[in-house]
Structure 1
Amino acid sequence: MYTMAQLWADVYMCCCCTFPEPSEGFKAEVRLPWCAEFKLLKDDKDLQVIFKMFTERKLSTIRVDFELQPFANLPLEAKDVPHAHMNSSSSSTNGTPSRTEVSADFLQISIDDDEEEYVPYSGSGWKADANDEEDSVDDEVAGKDKDIAESDNNSTDEQLSNAASFQFDEEFMEVADNDEEEGQSRPRRGRPFRVTNDGRVALEVGQLFHNLHQFRIVLRDFAVQEGFELKRVKNDKERYTAFCAYEGCTWRIHASPIEDRRTFMIKTLQNRHSCQKLQKNHEATAVWVARRFKCLIEQNPEIKVKFLGREIQRIYGLTLPSYTLYRAKNRVLQKTENEHSESFDKLYNYGYIVRQRNPGSMTLLKTITPDLGAPSRFQRFFLSLQAQKDGYIFGCRPFIGLDGCHLKGKYPGVLLSAIAVDANSGVFPIAICICEGESKDSWGWFLQQLYCHIGLDDNRRVTFMSDRQKGVIDAIERFWPRSNTRHCVRHITANLQAKYKGQLSAVYVWNAANKSNKSDFLAEMENLKEANIDAYNYMMNIPLKHWALHAFDAYVKSEHTTNNITESFNGWIDNYRELPALSMMESIRRKLMKRMHKRHEEAMKWPTNLPPLVYKKLGERQDEARFVTVLCASDHEYEVKDEIKYFIVNLLTQSCDCGLWELSGIPCKHALAIIAVKRSHGEDFVHQYLTKEAYLKTYRNVIHPIPDEAHWPHIQHNKVLPPMQKRMPGRPKKIRKRGPEEPPKQKGVVKSISKQTPKKRAREVGSSSIAPNIRRRVFTQVPPTITQNQVEGNASQHGDVSSQPLTVNAPLHSSGNASQPTQSIANSGTIAGLDIDWSPIF
């Protein structure tokens, strides 16, 4: 409730810039506009009655007249006498001041108490500038003011923050507290600067600013808002004088510090213009745009400068050049060199907090020491959360796509990724790794850690899909010897077209690669042989099990012949690849955390026991099943006529001569025709990898949030320096160069891997018609511990993969010498960077 004491304190502050003395009294009267009478306010009850009366009449402005009362006769000590003076002109100790009214004659008062408190305007970003801390240094200690005079049009007083807002300190005026001074005068009156309710800047004589820096920023905002440019005549810590830059215009402002020599007050303001407003304003610099639209750019990193320019045109009526908008956007998004450098050292503590908040997760930081005694430099960082591991083992098919994408930040590098596919053909990342580049050594290290974290606990035969990157095939054969490999057909056809010109050969290869049975495959290859014998020989030299669908392992239940799942993931995180290493890893973790929860919540609402994409594909094949003829041979064996061809179907072994049922896990049209004859349900013949139950197992685990960096425990470790920079020739490229066979990128098309409307046709991989997510329930099964015998057995078969014994205390931070690098395998239950048993914590 707004009280009389609060009202009196606010009025006194506006008039005298200080709080009233305890002994001072007042008399308040309210003018009633509907009857031209005055009502005396005696207590808080009268004030509430006035509020109610004005509210009933829908009046929002109340005029209150205040009159100071004589001081009460209080016994004063000798040293308190000077403080009893009302002002410097008073000759007596208890003089009676004259009647004082609010200078504006009207005081805006609301029944809501909160409106009287100052709340910074959030819409336009009025916050204190980061460099204001320099201005807070006491002049007596610093010896000189920290403010720097700015030039006429190009100043550096604005920084990358919303600098026009501040927290108002009631003690704007410093009054000397010298007991020996007599007849001391009060500080000059003034009002603290505040933005209006609609976020606009309104300047008046007597407004107070914390310092010159804030005054400059507010004045620039005012000039852009009103559409004129400034001509700065005086611009230093003693005074600030500026005119309108238009010749002949009468607008003028002058401000200078008050008694504390720091707080600036507007002394003179001629606020009338005799010029036209500008559409091109030099006051709207890139620094100004970056400060005013920082929140918009940070929340939308992919924002187009054309859209940003239209927003500025809509709000301020300005037309800014494109280079100014580009500089402003880059100024917001581009991180400083220190942020990029320090992020590598923070990965050590980040690994610790990830393990502490998500037990069972694996984080491994590998450094390299160029010379003995030299500081360590970053080389690689591996991250795989326990929720990702459990989701893959218990809910996904044993199919993993491998790929790497270049980082776009200050320091070069590559982000390696291992991506699985859920029951709805959606992308499910299981591990990522920052490394120096794609090589045999980096891929080997990544797959080695992936095997230690997941492979030892998963007895299934895994199939890897890759683009045949440098070293990835050798690494798979070494660390995953029981696995199968597939090669992306898109990359194979790209190499084919580069070597043998012509589009027809690529078409035949695509058709042959996607045939689910051998007879259809050979027919397409005959067409390729007739078109280009050299292309035919080139393709036949590649083992069919790597690229032909009919030769794939049917155990995987996956029809993928391309590596689009990893390409989709690379596009999904494209906006994060230019961030510092720590920010990038945290952004990806947060995005995965939200995605898993959302997908589980949506999956719980599915009306069927099949994911939407599987249900849709099953329905399409059921429609096609109406046009085939079923011939019964036994209870489980049938012969089906499809046009002029005959196919043998066995319901017991769930096989068909067309090969599609075994490879995909979904009954083909020949099997569905038999199922319809037997009056059974097609859903009962879908493989368990493609059910709602498997989907929920994938997303039922929780990625626990990570606290703010300020709350991380500080772990002692050797400082990690950023990797060495290798300057490449030419301008750094952030956009991948497309191949000659690839179509140009369509403008305005937004790619997504998480959502599609049910009415749209589902794409091959990387997306699903509905984006279900996980339920917030912790998966309680503890993965088995990696034993030394298991690692030694693997090393004996496939080479020595560890240079140190694997124990519960194995450190997660490995370092090696440049001339003789070492490798290490980390236990999934250890904490990053510590050679301590942390199992009691969990």
Structure 2
Amino acid sequence: MGGGPTGVAGHVREGRGLTDVARHDGERGGPTGIAARGADGWRSDGLANRDRYGRGPTDVAGRDGERGGPAGISARGADGEDSSGIIAYGGDGGAVVPKFQYFQLFLDHKDMAFDNVMDDIHVSGTPELPLVLSPKSHGFSSGIRGSPRFKELQGSELEDSDSAEEVEVVDAQGRKKMKKKVKLKRWRPENMKEVNFHIGMMFLSVIELRVAIQEYIVKQRVQIHYIKNDKQRIRAGCVGDCPWFLFAAPDSRTKAWVVKKYVGEHTCEREWALKQFTAIYLAGKYVETFRADEKMTLQNFGRLVQLDYNMQPTRSKLARARRIALKIIHGDELEQYNLLWDFAAEIRRSNPGSTMLVHANNGKFDNCYMSLDACKRGFLLACRPIICIDGCHIKNKYGGVMLTAVGVDPNDCIFPIAIAIVEVEDTVTWKWFLNTLKEDLNIQNTAPWTLMSDRQKGLINAVNAMFPDAQHRFCVRHLHQNFAKNWKGDVFKNKLWQIARATHEADWKKYMQEMKELDQGAYEYLDAIDPRQWCKAYFHELPKCDLLLNNSCEVFNKYILDAREMPIVTCLKKIKDQLMTRFYSKNLESEEMCGQICPKIRKKTGQKY
């Protein structure tokens, strides 16, 4: 066998080379565009004609081993002498390609075994890709390519292009009819609006091709299945006897996936239920919609999908799609717990003086505490010594409870101090939160302080343990909710509030006596509660605050309602951003105030200046 120094070309008996470059007598040469002719002297590619001894106009070496043109890559002749041309040996001749610096030949022996050669040529150092002959050998009958439902391409279906890609059109009898250049058009995301495949369309990856096929299925409402779907090729066909067919494979020249065969005709009926219309597909289509409106209900989401696609997915599919879209927007909820320690370190680094603590129990999240430096300094410098505490539920995948501590600023507005996230709300977690808050604010003497909360049993015990000398007020609204379980009606309600608003001890005794006349049981219930915890007449004068309701915490809990539905890191970051925005806007408002008395206080006292 006479192979060249690259081991590419060679000849055996009957003139067939190792790469199948030279084919049977009288046939076209191999698909690389190099091979020449058979015994009858028919030219395969227009590059060179050879006489029966292999000599052509370019005087490139033939079978006698003469030295050919200066291509720089030699092939060995029959007599063992190297030639400088690139030669493919046929039965009695060969061909030479144009001059270039580098040459690589890629082989697919599997396809060669089935008489279907898909070899490609990659040329470096030339401005154009070489001409490549398309694989369609007559007599091939195995697989989907030989199926009677596959229709051969017509010349009118091919588009002209400046590209060097060629496709050989074969008639029904297997005769070669013509060659037309195919336009190599790159697939782009904007093509999603109207998916149209054609031969020569390029895709950067197989994933991009599969996404385009899925979009085509949904847009055209057809049921297409994959005959082959792997890293080497994709064959897709329509169900039943529908002739629609697509074949794509990687192309070594463009380093992309190229549509090699395509039949775009459909004879099937449209489908109303598509397997490809998945929750992941919906999430990808409506992720920006959810980014703009995270509160969108499933009902409105379903209406939007029906308007766009004329299909009504199930409620569970819509819920999964919304969950996936929110996961794309905010990140994985479980992964964010692993990022919590890094987030805490970044808070302490970027905002000196802030406190961010994270605790774990046996490698699992237990609780965390966050208080920004501006919150602590502003509260200690300008706010009254009263702290409102409350808890609210977190509404994400893993749940939990958020404990909040809120103060009252000089204008009787809320002033957030600290927040904590715990698993459950009980005496242990409240003790930990209040003790951490006490140490963070450096509170040594608890006597001047006042705490306000609802009448939760665990919270009462925690306040008594951590702030033993502080006054503990109860929210009168929560007190009335418990009171109204046994004594309903506006009469009892109005009398209760009259007692709570009494500003003198004599008034308190008077109103309590009136309650006793209404109902002895109601009187005994209220008399058992320490009046210092719910009546203005017995409040300490130091805080200069006559609040009867724990509205400060209620307002703050509503203020961070959107953040409470997000994953933990996103939740804390959003609360941080909200506090920064609030402090900035309040600072701008304070610069426009006149005098030293705040607007709400001036309105209460009736002062004009």
Q: Secondary structure at the match of 2:542?
A: helix
Q: Which structure has the larger Rg?
A: 2
Whether contact under 8 Å (1:308, 1:325) holds in the other structure is: yes
Aligned match of 1:708: none
Letter in structure 2 aligned against 1:257: A
Aligned match of 1:211: 205
Whether contact under 8 Å (2:418, 2:437) holds in the other structure is: yes
What's the CA shift string for 1:223-250, capped at 9, x where partnerless? 33x351323152412333233x6x8877
Q: Secondary structure at the match of 2:562?
A: helix
Aligned match of 1:325: 318
Letter in structure 2 aligned against 1:210: L
Question: Percent of aligned positions with the same letter in both sequences?
Answer: 25
Of 307, 315, 329, 2:300 maps to: 307
Aligned match of 1:474: 461
Q: 2:192 & 2:130 partners in 1: Cα distance?
A: 43
Deviation of 1:393 after TM superposition, in Å, equals 1.6
Which stretch of the first structure deviates more once superposed, 386-395 or 260-269? 260-269
Of 334, 348, 352, 1:359 maps to: 352
Whether contact under 8 Å (1:305, 1:325) holds in the other structure is: yes
Of 553, 559, 575, 1:566 maps to: 553
Aligned match of 1:295: 288
Superposed, 1:730-809 pairs within 5 Å as none
Unaligned runs of 5+ in 1: 1-74, 84-88, 96-172, 369-374, 619-665, 673-681, 685-842
Q: Secondary structure at the match of 2:258?
A: strand
Are residue 255 (structure 1) and residue 247 (structure 2) matched?
yes
Whether contact under 8 Å (1:407, 1:577) holds in the other structure is: yes
Q: 1:485 & 1:187 partners in 2: Cα distance?
A: 85
Q: 2:588 & 2:480 partners in 1: Cα distance?
A: 40
Pair 1:523–1:260, CA change in 2 (3 A): farther
Q: 2:595 & 2:214 partners in 1: Cα distance?
A: 61
Aligned match of 2:539: 552
What's the CA shift string for 1:67-110, capped at 9, x where partnerless? xxxxxxxx976149999xxxxx9966389xxxxxxxxxxxxxxx
Q: Secondary structure at the match of 1:78?
A: coil
Aligned match of 1:581: 568
Pair 1:223–1:422, CA change in 2 (3 A): farther
Unaligned runs of 5+ in 2: 1-68, 75-83, 87-93, 101-119, 133-163, 167-182
Q: 2:287 & 2:486 partners in 1: Cα distance?
A: 49
Pair 1:328–1:183, CA change in 2 (3 A): closer
Aligned match of 1:706: none
Pair 1:607–1:203, CA change in 2 (3 A): farther
Are residue 510 (structure 1) and residue 497 (structure 2) matched?
yes
Superposed, 1:361-376 pairs within 5 Å as 361-368=354-361, 375-376=362-363
Are residue 393 (structure 1) and residue 380 (structure 2) matched?
yes
Pair 1:277–1:459, CA change in 2 (3 A): same
Aligned match of 1:783: none
Superposed, 1:206-605 pairs within 5 Å as 206-224=200-218, 226-232=219-225, 234-237=227-230, 238-243=233-238, 252-260=244-252, 263-271=256-264, 283-333=276-326, 339-341=332-334, 343-368=336-361, 375-411=362-398, 413-456=400-443, 461-500=448-487, 504-518=491-505, 521-522=508-509, 524-605=511-592
Letter in structure 2 aligned against 1:401: C
Superposed, 1:605-624 pairs within 5 Å as 605=592, 613-614=600-601, 618=603
What's the CA shift string for 1:118-168, capped at 9, x where partnerless? xxxxxxxxxxxxxxxxxxxxxxxxxxxxxxxxxxxxxxxxxxxxxxxxxxx
Q: 1:552 & 1:241 partners in 2: Cα distance?
A: 80
Q: 2:593 & 2:439 partners in 1: Cα distance?
A: 36
Pair 1:559–1:277, CA change in 2 (3 A): farther
Which stretch of the first structure deviates more once superposed, 274-283 or 209-218? 274-283
Deviation of 1:489 after TM superposition, in Å, equals 1.3
Letter in structure 2 aligned against 1:93: P
Aligned match of 2:60: none
What's the CA shift string for 1:464-523, capped at 9, x where partnerless? 111133433333334334422110112211222234455642343234323445565555
Letter in structure 1 aligned against 2:435: Q
Pair 1:345–1:208, CA change in 2 (3 A): closer
Q: 2:216 & 2:241 partners in 1: Cα distance?
A: 20
Q: 2:425 & 2:458 partners in 1: Cα distance?
A: 8
Letter in structure 1 aligned against 2:247: A
Q: 2:579 & 2:291 partners in 1: Cα distance?
A: 20
Q: Over the residues paired in the alignment, what is the CA RMSD in angstroms?
A: 4.1
What's the CA shift string for 1:434-483, capped at 9, x where partnerless? 22322333222211221122143899922211113343333333433442
Q: Secondary structure at the match of 2:576?
A: helix
Whether contact under 8 Å (1:229, 1:282) holds in the other structure is: no
Q: 1:428 & 1:397 partners in 2: Cα distance?
A: 10
Deviation of 1:318 after TM superposition, in Å, equals 3.9
Q: 2:448 & 2:294 partners in 1: Cα distance?
A: 41
Letter in structure 2 aligned against 1:217: V
Superposed, 1:655-670 pairs within 5 Å as 666-667=604-605
Letter in structure 2 aligned against 1:570: N
Whether contact under 8 Å (1:223, 1:283) holds in the other structure is: yes
Q: 2:316 & 2:323 partners in 1: Cα distance?
A: 10
Deviation of 1:174 after TM superposition, in Å, equals 8.2
Whether contact under 8 Å (1:253, 1:266) holds in the other structure is: no
Pair 1:278–1:400, CA change in 2 (3 A): farther
Aligned match of 1:93: 98
Q: Secondary structure at the match of 1:536?
A: helix
Aligned match of 2:122: 175
Pair 1:423–1:309, CA change in 2 (3 A): farther
TM-score by length of 2: 0.64
What's the CA shift string for 1:550-591, capped at 9, x where partnerless? 332343233421222212322333333354433332232222
